Amino acid sequence: MLKVENLHAGYGGAEVLNGVNLEVKAGTVVALIGANGAGKTTTMRAISGMVRPSKGRVLVEDLPVEGLAASRIARLGLAHSPEGRKVFGPLSVEDNLLLGAYRHLPHFLGFRSKAAADLKKVYDLFPRLEERREQLSGTLSGGEQQMLAIGRALMAQPKVVLLDEPSMGLAPVIVQEVFSIIRRLKEAGITLLLVEQFAKSALEVADYAYVMERGKIAVAGTPEELRKDERVLAAYLG
């Protein structure tokens, strides 16, 4: 579903990624773990077009998308829930969700009725968002904003979802909740690339995982294989 080949990218001449290769098969959850500054978030940003890759390929369903504007890539069905959540603070919870479905809704009128089924699905997953649908999203708690960011990504009926650090800055109880949501998404058959600091929890939900070091994939394997790898064990799972 998503394939990344020899991806290079950086910011203003400073190269952060030196040839990343990874693959996310349809219906699987893939975790991308590694130390701070290894290039996990940059990988996500280069895939979704927020950073223009300097070299390499990104294929969404065999379609090359590298070099396209982020909005084009999003319209092709790649939903990226970015680091730091980035909800539209001055807009209501429901407006945020509706905008998540922008790629397949009518842009003038009648969008509300067309979005009703998707909205219901997201509200079933996150009942708290339904309670707060009229509230400005900037006034939500961190955990609620994260739920909103995930819900907003799901509204797009995406082919593949990128989740960047969904647990960042959240209380432990809420982190647990986030992971139980990810588990439910997996059961629903959603294709997911997950970047996480909490490597242990990430490996518990993932079907496959990549470990990044200095802008490259250092180790790859199933969670069982990685748990046996001594280097990974010492560095990330200790």
Partner 1 sequence: MDTSVIIQIVVSGAFMGLVYALVAYGFQLTFATSKTINFGQGELVMLSAFFSLTLTRLGAPYWLMVPGGLLFGALLGLFVERAAVRLALEQKSEGWILLTIILGLLGFSSAENIWGRDDHPFPTPISSDPIHVVGVDITPLEISVAVGVLGIMGLIELFKRRTLLGKAFEAVSADRDAAELMGISSTRTVMLSYALSGAVAALAGILVAPITTVGPTMASALILKAFSVAVVAGLESGFGVVVVGLFLGGLENLASLYLGSGWREAPGLLLLILALALRPNGIFGKASIRKV
Residues at the contact surface with partner 1, assessed by CB under 8 A: 48-50, 69-72, 74-75, 79-80, 82, 86-91, 95, 98-100, 102-103, 105-109, 111, 152, 156
Least distance CB 163 / partner 1 (angstroms)? 12
- Min separation Cβ 143 and partner 1, Å: 18
CB 32 within 8 A of CB 193: yes
Min separation Cβ 113 and partner 1, Å: 12
Which residue's CB is nearer to partner 1, number 105 or number 199? 105
Three-state DSSP state, 185? helix
For residues 139 and 180, which CB has a smaller minimum distance to partner 1 in the complex? 139
Q: How far is CA 53 from CA 3, 13, 25, 43, 199, in A?
A: 14, 12, 22, 9, 26
Supply the minimum distance, in Å, between the C-beta of residue 194 and partner 1.
Answer: 16
- Residue among 70 and 235 whose Cβ is closer to partner 1: 70
CB-hemisphere CA count at 13 Å for 101? 23
Q: Of 24 and 74, which has the nearer Cβ to partner 1?
A: 74
122 or 226, CB closer to partner 1? 122
- The span from the CA of 218 to the CA of 54, in Å, is 21
Least distance in Å: CB of 50 to partner 1?
6
Q: Where are the beta strands (DSSP E) in the chain?
A: 2-11, 14-24, 29-34, 55-60, 63-64, 78-81, 160-164, 192-195, 208-213, 216-221
Closer residue to partner 1, CB minimum distance, 20 or 79 = 79
Which residues have C-beta within 8 Å of that of residue 138, sequence separation ≥ 6?
87, 89, 90
Cβ distance 29 to 192 under 8 Å? yes
DSSP sequence for 65-106: -TTS-HHHHHHTTEEEE-TT----TTSBHHHHHHHHTGGGS-
Taking the complex as a whole, how short is the minimal distance between the CB of residue 36 and partner 1, in angstroms? 16
The answer to whether 40 and 195 have CB atoms below 8 angstroms apart is yes
